[in-house]
């Protein structure tokens, strides 16, 4: 993804360039800084998004556009900040000591200008001093058509979303061997000459086995990142630096994702990811125990939490290697339709993502079509190894002394403290951590 930064003061190219230096990994192909009477804006871009520089030069708009409907942007005309409804593209802002408004794609860049860090919420516009919601994600009236028709239309919309990004004859997919990423790979395969699939995990990890099965059926060029616990521990500091979080579950899932992204960047400029499917189609086990009538609201809530958890992992792991990620399940046309699918078709007869499995029928092996949801870190084989390592590294006395953070949050485990210590080395002892996403019920 591209990276953007700026401040609402003219003649600040030196500062904006410092900010862009911190996120140069997002745009290794080029950079452009625009000075205007209203402010100074800058953008860095990867090879596949060279138009980002042209847009800033021509129109005064700095934009990080992931794909259709997913963006973060700043307009020098009036200095307006805007972010897409699901928050696939990141954007933070703050004010300097003299009251100037500044912004950046990542917090590490914003800290070059100010310690006042605020995340621009998804679907919001910040204009001057006013922050307002322009496009909320909310529950919708249920469709009144047959499940067969819904499955066909869902598949059609997903395939259309995938086809938007398969015009170059070559495509990549982060392939876990689960239903979501496997379906995207299957939908992409007929439209490309060469399909690259990427999976990762410890030796013998379930994801590796299932991903290989899908890759063989689709005749993709399959690539594996086989790693060890030692490898994961070695990259912890750089992963937490890029991730900008210490949430234990988020860091766990980012380690393998980061290594797979590094591998993918050697072959393709962009990949598809299955993020969003579990939230839209009820893929988590706990959802089965909810009271009748509460599922729709819960799915909307966890979809609205994606921006600084799972989507942050996707963005940071990819952008660290100059890679773009397409999240086709969150394509506006797919999202809109998913919100209108009756809840009884999302969990049916105790089967999670029932309607999505119907949409995928005939496109995947039965073992993949019916594979239960596995947590990313478990499927990759990481499991509790990191927690066990933290138990060895950190004493109970140290944990009790350090678990209360300056902002009042309480760390939940020694593993989270292990990550927080690294986070603190990179970003300091922050009293305001409102911009740090944490997995639901983690605090």
In a domain, 141, yes or no: no
In a domain, 142, yes or no: no
- Expressed as residue numbers, the domain containing 66 is 3-133
Q: Which two tokens stand for residue 177?
A: 């061997």
My answer on whether 215 and 306 are in the same domain is: yes
In a domain, 434, yes or no: no
Q: Closest Cα partner for 71 from 160, 1, 131?
A: 1
My answer on whether 166 and 47 are in the same domain is: no
In a domain, 421, yes or no: yes
My answer on whether 60 and 173 are in the same domain is: no
Residues 54 and 427: their CA atoms lie apart, in Å, by 33
My answer on whether 371 and 391 are in the same domain is: no
Burial of 340 (0-12, 13-18, 19+ CB in 10 A): middle
CATH code of 270's domain: 3.40.50.620
My answer on whether 220 and 123 are in the same domain is: no
Residues 92 and 97: their CA atoms lie apart, in Å, by 17
Q: What is the pLDDT of residue 382?
A: 78
Residues 188 and 173: their CA atoms lie apart, in Å, by 9
**Terminal alpha carbon distance of the chain:** 30
My answer on whether 309 and 233 are in the same domain is: yes
In a domain, 437, yes or no: no
In a domain, 410, yes or no: yes
Which helix (H) or strand (E) is 424 found in, with range?
Answer: helix 414-427
Q: Closest Cα partner for 194 from 179, 173, 164?
A: 173
pLDDT tens sequence for the chain (443 residues): 899 999 999 999 999 999 999 999 999 999 999 999 999 999 999 998 999 999 999 999 999 998 778 999 999 988 999 999 999 999 999 999 999 999 999 999 999 999 999 999 999 999 978 999 999 999 999 999 999 999 999 999 999 999 999 987 899 999 999 999 999 999 999 999 999 999 999 999 989 999 999 999 999 999 999 999 999 999 999 999 999 999 999 999 999 999 999 999 999 999 999 999 999 999 999 999 998 799 999 999 999 999 999 999 999 999 999 999 999 999 999 999 999 999 999 999 999 999 999 999 999 999 999 888 765 556 556 768 899 999 999 999 999 999 999 999 999 999 999 999 999 999 998 888 999 998 875 44
My answer on whether 406 and 270 are in the same domain is: no
Please identify which residue in the block is written with the tokens 């310690």.
115
My answer on whether 20 and 110 are in the same domain is: yes
My answer on whether 375 and 391 are in the same domain is: no
CATH code of 94's domain: 3.60.20.10
Q: What is the pLDDT of residue 383?
A: 66
Task: Tell me how crowded residue 37 is: count the other CB atoms within 10 A of its CB.
Answer: 8
In a domain, 140, yes or no: no
Residue that finishes a domain, picked among 383, 417, 436: 383
Q: What is the pLDDT of residue 371?
A: 85
My answer on whether 111 and 179 are in the same domain is: no
Give Cβ neighbours of residue 250 (< 8 Å, ≥ 6 apart).
Answer: 243, 309, 310, 312, 313, 437, 438, 439
Residue 126: strand pairing partners: 81, 131
CA distances from 135 to 16, 152, 316, 333, 341 (A): 30, 27, 24, 14, 20
In a domain, 139, yes or no: no
My answer on whether 86 and 176 are in the same domain is: no
Residues 47 and 323: their CA atoms lie apart, in Å, by 9
My answer on whether 368 and 419 are in the same domain is: no
Q: Closest Cα partner for 76 from 50, 40, 106?
A: 40
Give Cβ neighbours of residue 74 (< 8 Å, ≥ 6 apart).
Answer: 4, 6, 41, 61, 62, 63, 80, 81, 82, 103
Domain count for the chain: 3
The pTM (predicted TM-score) of the whole model is: 0.95
């Amino acid at each position: 993804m591209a990276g953007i930064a700026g401040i609402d003061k003219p003649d600040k190219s030196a500062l904006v360039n410092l900010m862009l230096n911190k996120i140069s990994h997002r745009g290794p192909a080029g950079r452009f800084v625009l000075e205007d009477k209203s402010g100074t804006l800058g953008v860095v871009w990867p090879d596949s998004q060279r138009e980002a520089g042209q847009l800033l030069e021509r129109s005064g708009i700095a934009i990080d556009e992931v794909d259709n409907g997913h963006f973060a942007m700043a307009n020098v005309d009036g200095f307006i900040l805007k972010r897409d409804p699901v928050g696939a593209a990141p954007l933070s802002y703050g004010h300097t000591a003299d009251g100037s408004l500044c912004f950046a794609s990542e917090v590490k860049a914003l800290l070059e200008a100010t310690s006042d860090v605020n995340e621009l919420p998804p679907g919001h516009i910040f204009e001057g001093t006013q922050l307002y919601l322009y496009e909320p994600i909310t529950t919708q009236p249920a469709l009144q058509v047959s499940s067969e028709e819904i499955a066909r239309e869902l598949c059609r919309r997903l395939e259309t979303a995938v086809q938007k990004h398969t015009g170059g004859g070559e495509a990549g997919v982060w392939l876990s061997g689960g239903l979501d990423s496997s379906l995207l790979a299957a939908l992409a395969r007929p439209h490309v000459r060469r399909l690259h699939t990427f999976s990762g995990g410890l030796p013998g990890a379930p994801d590796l086995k299932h991903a290989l099965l899908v890759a063989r059926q689709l005749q993709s060029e399959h690539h594996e990142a086989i790693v060890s616990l030692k490898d994961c521990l070695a990259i912890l500091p750089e992963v937490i630096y890029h991730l900008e979080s210490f949430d234990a579950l988020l860091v766990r899932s980012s380690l393998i994702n980061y290594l797979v992204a590094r591998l993918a960047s050697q072959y393709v400029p962009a990949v598809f990811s299955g993020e969003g499917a579990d939230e839209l189609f009820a893929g988590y086990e706990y959802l089965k125990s909810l009271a009748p009538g509460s599922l729709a609201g819960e799915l909307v809530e966890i979809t609205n939490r994606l921006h600084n958890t799972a989507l942050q992992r996707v963005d940071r792991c990819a952008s660290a290697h100059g890679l773009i990620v397409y999240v086709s399940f969150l394509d506006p046309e797919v999202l809109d339709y998913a919100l209108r699918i009756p809840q009884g078709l999302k969990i049916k007869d105790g089967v999670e993502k029932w309607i999505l499995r119907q949409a995928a029928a005939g496109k995947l092996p039965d073992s993949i079509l019916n594979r239960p949801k596995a947590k990313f870190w478990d499927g990759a084989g990481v499991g509790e190894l990191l927690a066990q390592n933290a138990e060895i590294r950190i004493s109970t006395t140290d944990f009790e002394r350090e678990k209360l953070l300056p902002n009042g949050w309480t760390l939940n485990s020694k593993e989270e403290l292990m990550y927080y210590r690294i986070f603190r080395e990179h970003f300091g002892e922050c009293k305001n951590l409102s911009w740090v996403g944490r997995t639901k019920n983690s605090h």
